[in-house]
Amino acid sequence: MLINVSRVVVAVASAAVLVLTGGAATVVDSVAPADSGDSGAAAASAAASEPAKPAASANSAVGALFAGGKHFCTASVVHSPAGDLVLTAAHCLGAGTAGLTFEPGYHDGVAPFGTWTVTAAAVPAGWAASADQDLDFAFLTVARPGTAASLESLTGANQLGVSRGFTNAITLTGYPDPADAPVVCENTTTRSDTYQQRVACPGFPDGTSGAPWVTGADPATGLGTVVGVIGGYEAGGDTPDVSYSAYFDDDIQRLYDSVTS
């Protein structure tokens, strides 16, 4: 997400990234950086919400992405047949995935479900070609050597929500950089452009890019249906108090199908 210039700074080495082309995943060497251009978002302000609240572990399926020993983005487990799939913003990948890890439920320096290595990433071809802000989402495949259980079996997972409309009551959970616990906000999303949605949630600065927008969250687990991630317009917005997401439609469904079929 952006604050003035950028809400995420990624310093990771170049690595292979899968790109969806015509329904199939192909490999490229790197992913373009985030586009910071104006999407023509509506000028009207979104509804006000309560400030983000810190939580020791708001949702076990939500965690922090790490590179070089520091977390810089947020990601979440999404249901998949293999139980090894994580969703984040495409702009979080920077130049690739080398050295990238995911720690679900991270808080206070503790990774309660272990550290998972990102082994592959899939982004839409439109993102790889031109950092299309309407395609700012990515799926990561993760693994943990020596662990027989799948990630999803340990943390649970959100379902992927496609074409759910622009107005949804959501729970937003993200990891501000360099906070040791996530912040959580609840509010209703609105439409900001043809393929962009937004939500007013104060207190989502650097590090919260990729944070999942979860609707229908179970009060006990926090799990529900993910209908967006912080990203899109200005890589998530030009203020920490209003966040954006690319709209989840057939594009994300095709990308999901390419990595799960």
pLDDT for 97 equals 87
Q: What is the DSSP string of 9-43?
A: ----B---EEEEETTEEEEES--PPPP-------S
Euclidean distance between CA atoms 235 and 252, whole angstroms: 17
Cβ pair 159, 253 in contact under 8 A: no
Q: How high is the pLDDT of residue 52?
A: 56
List all residues 6 or more positions away from 177 whose beta carbon is below 8 Å from its beta carbon: 70, 71, 72, 205, 206, 207
- Per-residue pLDDT averaged across 62-86, rounded? 97
The confidence band for 63, taking pLDDT boundaries of 50, 70 and 90, is very high
Q: How many CA atoms lie within 13 A of 17 on its CB side?
A: 31
pLDDT tens digits for range 78-137:
999 999 999 999 999 986 888 999 999 999 999 999 999 999 999 999 999 999 999 999
| Token pair of 201 as six digits | 């949630």
With H, G, I as helix, E, B as strand and everything else as coil, classify residue 49. Answer: coil
CA 8 to chain CA mean position, Å:
12
Inter-residue contact 77 to 155 (CB < 8 Å): yes
| pLDDT above 70 as % of the chain | 77
Reading phi first (left if > 0) and then psi (alpha if -120 to 50, else beta), residue 194 is in alpha
Q: What is the pLDDT of residue 3?
A: 32
Partners of residue 235 on adjacent β-strands: none
More confident residue, 58 or 29: 58
The residue with greater pLDDT, 193 or 17, is: 193
Residue-wise DSSP of 139-198: EEEEE-TT--S-HHHHH--BEEP-S--S--EEEEEE--TT-SS-EEEEEE-EEEETTEEE
CB-count burial class (<10 Å; 0-12, 13-18, 19+) for 149? exposed
Predicted pLDDT of residue 18: 55
Torsion of CA 149, 150, 156, 162, to 10 degrees: -170
CB neighbours of 69 closer than 8 A, spacing ≥ 6?
none
Would you say 198 and 189 are in contact if contact means Cβ atoms under 8 Å apart?
yes
Tens-place pLDDT, residues 205-214: 989 999 999 9
Q: Which of the two residues, 227 and 30, has the higher pLDDT score?
A: 227
Q: Assign 178 a pLDDT band (cuts: 50, 70, 90).
A: confident
107 SS3 class: strand
**Chain segment 144-168, per-residue pLDDT in tens:** 999 899 999 999 999 999 999 999 9
Q: What is the mean pLDDT of the chain?
A: 83
Answer yes or no: are the C-beta atoms of 72 and 10 closer than 8 Å.
yes
